Amino acid sequence: MPERIIIIGAVALGPKVACRLKRLNHEAEITLIDKDTLISYGGCGIPYYIGGDIADLEGLYSTFAHAIRDKEFFRTDKGVKALTGVEALSINRKEKKLLVRHLNDKIEEELEYDKLVIATGATPVKPPFPGVDLSGVHVISNLHHALAIKTSIADGKVGHAVVIGAGAIGIEMAEALTDLWGVETTLIEMADHVLPAALGKNISAVVEKELRENDINVLLSQRVVRINGDKDNRVTSVETTETTISCDMVVLAAGVRPNSEIAKDAGLAIGRYGGILVDPCMQTTDPDIYAGGDCVEVKNIINGQSMLMPLGSLANRQGRIIATNINGGCEHFKGAVGSFCIKVFGLGVAKAGLTFEQAKSAGFDPIYSMVAQSDRAHFYPDSDFMYIKLIADRNSRKILGIEAAGPQGDAVKARVDAVAPLFQYGATISDICSLEVAYAPPYASAMDIINNAANCLDNTVKGSHVSVDVQDFLEEFRQEKTRVLDIRSKIQAEPFVKKYGERWINIPQDEFRARVQEVPTDEPLCLLCGSGPRSYEIQVILAAHGITNTRNIQGGYAMILAVHGPLD
């Protein structure tokens, strides 16, 4: 008798399991079940459909050859039975039966299985403040939501929008609404910086500036109190702890919650974040039931703790492993390091590993470097600045995290992708200092930015480099708690000397050794060059002369421009 495999959920992981398993075992009877009628789509592409980068909704659920991935496609092309508009109600583990309900006629039936796969995904969080059910308040969960939002905007019904939550979906939606449709958009985040779960404040500040420069009204450290509506039950404004914003549309992007209820009700183990617990084989606590995708918790390779990682890319990799193991293989999913990337208007952003605060909370003693450098050879015509933050444990020197941003997104992602696989091997600062990466002037510098980020971190750990973040420097300088020693050319520094007087000292690098005696020794100084390396050299020279009350501004004036803009 052919083996019977039932898969609950037919968006990302489910179809991957079904199609691979059918290739491995042609005789298997595979049934995909989903309560929606639209299946096997790229949910991560929804903001790009709303923003116009993807012209038609069908583009999200069609193949490279333009075949529509519907239940007929799975029957004819893949040999898989797909039941759409069917909701899974409960699992009878003892008898290996799944109770389902057909939503069109409410008929219930039991389906027998040999192996069961739970791929139920996650549901957007609806915060408990008043007004979340008003007309004009949307979540982003499926293609129906996407179509509703785009139709409403295209009909001219939306002039002002509020997006609640500045995570990836929130930022992508804010860009979509503003960039194509010209909707005046406000982005509200209760944390003190955007992308708070992914980035520290350094790189996050670069993202925030990009959002503001593209006319997004960013409100940080504000909590939404309620969404207000009119007599027709339509949204009119969003009220926060500090202000009220008039709007015609609200998009809730406050995170997602794993759809693990059916697993919990069946007695399967659930983790601290509400996701289904699985072993490295992607098996639940029932060996005949597997789970993967957004509904499970995965191991963080760096700190060993569990985490949620709702990404279609991860779901597809897990789906392949599940199919292999159901067919008698022994593949393991080792965990994840939280690799992440996003496009924010003209800026590419990527990260992997822990942020500084996450590393600290996990019990590490984190230390980091922040560098600004050309992503290509500096003499190459289209070179541009990239900004990288590299985080390590002070004692073990193990790399804990990397964050990067720059206008050439492929280059940003490439640097993070070069480091991400090394976390599982306990790579150290020294490993990244000597990391071999490909070089040609159109793609990189001879000393790549990733190597220099590690070199800077190595100098910091050893104590020869004492630094200050741009944000901290700007605040201290505003409060007149520090002076600047600018070692750039006279032409570059002159506007600042004129504006700030004695608070801004300029001794160009080529004159410095002859004029080192002019440096004041009785007050703190912040050292500044174009991007940081030259002012570090000056810090070493000053230390040799016994002057140690200096801090190098990380990333130099390039980083000031990236997070603040011109000072003159």
Q: What is the pLDDT, as a whole number, of residue 124?
A: 94
Phi, psi dihedral angles at 404 (to 5 degrees): -150, 150
Q: DSSP assignment, residue 394?
A: T
Q: What is the pLDDT of residues 521-561, one digit of tens each?
A: 989 999 999 999 999 999 999 999 999 999 999 999 999 99
Q: What is the pLDDT of residues 2-54, one digit of tens each?
A: 899 999 999 999 999 999 999 999 999 999 999 999 999 998 898 898 888 88
Can you tell me the distance from the alpha carbon of 453 to that of 345, in angstroms, rounded to the nearest whole number? 25
Q: DSSP assignment, residue 62?
A: B
CA-based nearest residue to 348, from 417, 411, 406:
406
Q: What is the pLDDT, as a whole number, of residue 487?
A: 97
The two three-digit tokens of residue 136, written as one number: 């004009």
Q: What is the pLDDT of residues 300-341, one digit of tens each?
A: 999 999 999 998 899 999 999 999 999 999 999 999 999 999
Can you tell me the distance from the alpha carbon of 379 to that of 489, in angstroms, rounded to the nearest whole number? 19
CATH of the domain spanning 137-254: 3.50.50.60
User: Measured in whole angstroms, how far is the alpha carbon of residue 498 from the centre of its chain?
Assistant: 42
Q: Angle formed by the axes of helices 449-462 and 533-544, to 10°?
A: 20
Phi, psi dihedral angles at 74 (to 5 degrees): -65, -35
User: How is domain 467-563 classified at the architecture level of CATH?
Assistant: 3-Layer(aba) Sandwich (3.40)
* In the chain, % of residues over pLDDT 90: 90
At residue 338, what is the residue type? G
Residues in contact with 289: Cβ distance below 8 Å, sequence separation at least 6, in sequence order: 91, 93, 115, 116, 117, 118, 263, 266, 268, 283
Q: What is the pLDDT, as a whole number, of residue 282?
A: 98
Q: What is the pLDDT of residues 349-376, one digit of tens each?
A: 999 999 999 999 999 999 999 999 999 9
99-108 own/partner pairs: CB under 8 Å, 24+ apart: 100/33, 103/35
CA torsion 253-257-259-260 (nearest 10°) is 180
- Fold designation for 4-121+257-326: FAD/NAD(P)-binding domain (3.50.50)
Can you tell me the distance from the alpha carbon of 62 to that of 42, in angstroms, rounded to the nearest whole number? 9
User: What average pLDDT does the segment 81-89 reach?
Assistant: 97
CA-based nearest residue to 188, from 222, 160, 213, 161:
222
Beta-sheet strands, E only, within 122-222: 122-124, 137-139, 160-164, 184-189, 217-220
Q: What is the pLDDT, as a whole number, of residue 180?
A: 82
Edge-first strand listing for the sheet containing 81-84: 81-84, 29-34, 4-8, 115-118, 289-291
Q: H or E segment at 86? A: strand 86-92
User: What average pLDDT does the segment 273-295 reach?
Assistant: 98
**Is 1 a residue whose pLDDT tops 80?**
no
What secondary structure, in 3-state letters, does 408-436 show?
A: CHHHHHHHHHHHHHHHHHCCEHHHHHCCC
User: Measured in whole angstroms, how far is the alpha carbon of residue 485 from the centre of its chain?
Assistant: 36
Q: What does pLDDT average to over the chain?
A: 95
pTM over 0.85: yes
- Write down the domain spans for the chain: 4-121+257-326, 137-254, 340-462, 467-563
User: What average pLDDT does the segment 90-110 reach?
Assistant: 97
CA-based nearest residue to 288, from 97, 80, 24, 32:
97
Q: What is the pLDDT, as a whole number, of residue 53?
A: 87
Confidence tier at 156 by pLDDT (50, 70, 90): confident
Can you tell me the distance from the alpha carbon of 555 to that of 553, in angstroms, rounded to the nearest whole number? 6
**137-254 matches 467-563 in fold:** no
Residue 213 pairs with which residues in a beta bridge?
none
CATH superfamily of 340-462: FAD/NAD(P)-binding domain (3.50.50.60)
Helix (H, G, I), strand (E, B) or coil at 5: strand
At residue 449, what is the residue type? I
Q: What is the pLDDT, as a whole number, of residue 568?
A: 65
Can you tell me the distance from the alpha carbon of 269 to that of 263, in angstroms, rounded to the nearest whole number? 8
Helix (H, G, I), strand (E, B) or coil at 532: coil
Name the H helices within 52-200. Answer: 71-78, 143-154, 168-179
